Amino acid sequence: MTNPLTGKLGASAVFGPQKGATPEMIITLDNALAHYARVIARDLDMDVLNLAGGGAAGGMGAALYAFCGAQLRQGIEIVTDALHLADQIADADW
């Protein structure tokens, strides 16, 4: 998931329709997320507007990055690391 916070591939545009948001609602939500990003930039000196994955889970990626110091990673990367998949494959009997 590399969706940005706002824009055509942003949280509102991608996830809004899945949750029943109308086109008008999507514009309002996108504007609110852009404002949210400006506040974070102003107060925390962080750019979440252009953060790859900032739009994940409706903007949780941006929030976790800004407020918790989270490092955004692809879900599959987390799973393969947790399972030590590279080691499992290396040790596999082909």
Q: Which domain holds residue 83?
A: 11-90
CA angle 89, 76, 3 (to 5 degrees): 155
84: left (phi over 0), alpha (psi -120 to 50) or beta: left
pLDDT tens string 13-68: 999 999 999 999 999 999 999 999 999 999 999 999 999 999 998 899 999 999 99
pLDDT bracket for residue 7 (50, 70, 90)? very high
Within-domain flag for 61: yes
Number of structural domains in the chain: 1
Is position 6 within any domain?
no
Structural contact between residues 56 and 72, judged by C-beta atoms closer than 8 angstroms: yes
Classify residue 3: in a domain, yes or no. no
